[in-house]
A and B are shown apart, each in its own frame.
Chain A
């Protein structure tokens, strides 16, 4: 084990190196570039033995991953914002064809106007693509969760592609201290990839038929069940990781929430800032806590309900906007709680769009504003936090 200072992008590249991937098929886009550049340098220096396919678009980046994974290669790529959108249709194919590709996404807002800065609009746009999706909040998590992603995705009971989300710039370009394991320890945790079905002349098979209306629904049902059932493997993998490396991860993580009347829900790097706000409010005697949603898909209904039902008020921060509709995470939260007799009131905020920061003071204000609105019965779909009128 050694302690290093790494940018989160480099931490992810390090995890990819320790996972000894076979192929990366990648296209550069701000703010993911440091990941693919670092991987390229590792390969160039002989520290990682992998094929790097420098493709001509993100649609091709993910398509190259399909081919490589289909012959049994451990495959990784990274993208952000527009790039994630350009590969949109390919994402559905990856999950529909049960190819365990791992991808890091440096969450970036979507054009137009063009914005290279971070928010979760790219994440929300790919919500339904059938990938396992996990959020990292700091550089250590970026490393740990990327390593775990290979173990989860490639599990014979899962075989689903997996995204690890890190906030663009706010996390991708930030240098933090990280504890790096030794390769022998990683090899104990992450077995070699042994896929059952590959493209091989010795055992020919056909991948990618078309399905008529009387078969399609069933294929989707099995795919959905596979994603839901992956929860068991995710929990197992994280437990195993915790036992080996001493850091525990769960689908929903709380902070000072045990006796909280008011909870704030955040995802990604904002959680760390929000935790400081919670500390300050707790100092002042307020019973507030933080819900950190780590696992986005499969949605952790059970863990989430258990975490929030005892609170009186749940304030949800969406870092993406769904024009003309409710905040995406807020609407999922409400849907998860709808039929429960005992549930908190819910106030939705949208903030942090296009890389706009929210400070510790900002989070304190948001919590108070949320409490005021609940008291006043102001339950509109959302309020955009920190906007100039």
Chain B
């Protein structure tokens, strides 16, 4: 794995932009992902966050877990709040106000990104604002109680599309959000997972250094919503990548690079079988998932090969 660089935990900063003491669930890989992103971002950053798990667990009045400037307003608008911040600083600096350097970063969950905030993200990407959008994808509206989103994978049981006597759970395939980002012709799009912390941090650093809109999509394993033991989050993140369900790749100015390509993908059942949200899957459904994962992975490989 070339992009992991030198495995040197000692070189990672000890400073926490996102401090301990917040109220995330035991084993929350999303909180881990946020911590890693913040280590990679450093202190010269302004964050605009959407309503969701990370916002709620970190900012109960009068407390805050954030040691960087941070704003939360509503659910669907972190991308445009970030745009306003970026434009405001641009105008102020141009007109003579002295302001410190600050990368503008918008953060939202899958609900905020795939569904309610899609329009605002599209607008911000199209307008070309200099900002990074990070999507923390735990594959459902977890903060409000595990309701489905368009990021919920095929076959998963959620509270609004549950598996039942006459229903199989999620009937549609996960929306391809990175592809939507790529379709906006932005300079950098990447997927990441906190189970591969150095890959994740490298990608954040890379995105931060690019001028223009950038997008990083982070798989955030959720023990509560996926119904797995709380000590399985990191392992499951690895399985998502090793089975090809969540490939790690980058798209730089339209050019695809697959960051992790094992000689043989593990079967998807290795990933699905330990999750309560997939407990009801029949062999037929699992086969369908395997076929689709294999096909999409092959397509991704083609793109990476220059196809």
Chain A residues packing against B (C-beta within 8 Å): 22-23, 25, 49-51, 53-57, 59-60, 63-73, 75, 89-90, 93, 97, 199-212, 215, 219
Contact = CB atoms under 8 A, between A and B. Distances in A.
B88 to A, nearest CB: 4
A73 B87 CA distance: 9
A210 B71 contact: no
B40 to A, nearest CB: 16
B70 interface: yes
A54 B127 contact: yes
Interface stretch (B78-86, B165-173, B193-201, B288-296): B78-86
7 contacts: A23-B87, A53-B84, A67-B84, A71-B46, A71-B99, A73-B88, A207-B72
B77 A50 contact: no
Contacts of B92: 22, 71-73
A200 B92 CA distance: 13
Given A51-B87, A72-B92, A206-B64, A64 B56 contact: no
Nearest to A64: B84
Of all A-B residue pairs in the complex, the 10 with the closest CB atoms, nearest first, are A67-B84, A73-B88, A208-B72, A56-B123, A68-B88, A63-B77, A64-B84, A199-B69, A206-B64, A51-B87
A64 B59 contact: no
Contact of A200 (B82, B99, B122): B99
A63 B87 CA distance: 12
Contacts of B8: none
Interface string B85-98: 11111111011010
Contacts of A209: 59-64, 72
Contact of B91 (A66, A73, A201, A211): A73
B91 A50 contact: yes
A59 B86 CA distance: 18
Contact of A51 (B46, B56, B90): B90
Given A51-B91, A209-B61, A210-B60, A67 B81 contact: yes
Considering residues A70, A72, A97, which has the most beta carbons from chain B within 10 angstroms of its beta carbon?
A70
Contacts of A206: 59, 64, 66, 70-71
A202 B74 CA distance: 25
B88 A72 contact: yes
A25 B87 CA distance: 9
B89 A71 contact: yes
Contacts of B120: 56-57, 59-60, 63
Contact of A66 (B63, B84, B90): B84
B45 interface: yes
A25 B82 CA distance: 12
B80 A201 contact: no
A204 B67 contact: yes
Given A51-B87, A56-B123, A202-B100, A212 B61 contact: yes
Contacts of A73: 87-89, 91-92
B88 A210 contact: no
A205 B71 CA distance: 8
B159 interface: no
A70 B71 contact: yes
B79 to A, nearest CB: 8
A178 B127 CA distance: 36
Interface string B35-63: 00000000111101000000110011111
A100 to B, nearest CB: 13
Given A56-B122, A59-B120, A208-B70, 9 more contacts: A22-B88, A54-B127, A55-B83, A57-B120, A60-B77, A60-B80, A71-B99, A208-B59, A208-B71
B74 A70 contact: no
Contact of B119 (A56, A71, A201, A212): A56
A55 B67 CA distance: 30
A172 to B, nearest CB: 25
Contacts of B300: none
Contacts of A59: 76-77, 120
A70 B102 CA distance: 14
Contacts of B84: 23, 25, 53, 63-71, 75
B73 interface: yes
A203 B66 CA distance: 12
Given A22-B92, A51-B91, A64-B84, A201 B71 contact: no
B186 interface: no
B71 A60 contact: no
Interface in B90-131: 90-92, 94-95, 97, 99-102, 119-120, 122-123, 126-127
Contacts of A201: 43-46, 68-69, 100-102
Contacts of A200: 46, 69, 99-100, 102
B85 A71 contact: yes
A201 B123 CA distance: 26
Contacts of B46: 71, 199-201
Nearest to A208: B72
B119 A60 contact: yes
A49 B95 contact: yes
B227 to A, nearest CB: 26
Nearest to A89: B74
Considering residues B81, B95, B127, which has the most beta carbons from chain A within 10 angstroms of its beta carbon?
B81
A66 B72 CA distance: 10
A359 B120 CA distance: 44
A218 B274 CA distance: 47
Nearest to B45: A201
Considering residues A25, A55, A209, which has the most beta carbons from chain B within 10 angstroms of its beta carbon?
A209
A201 B63 CA distance: 18
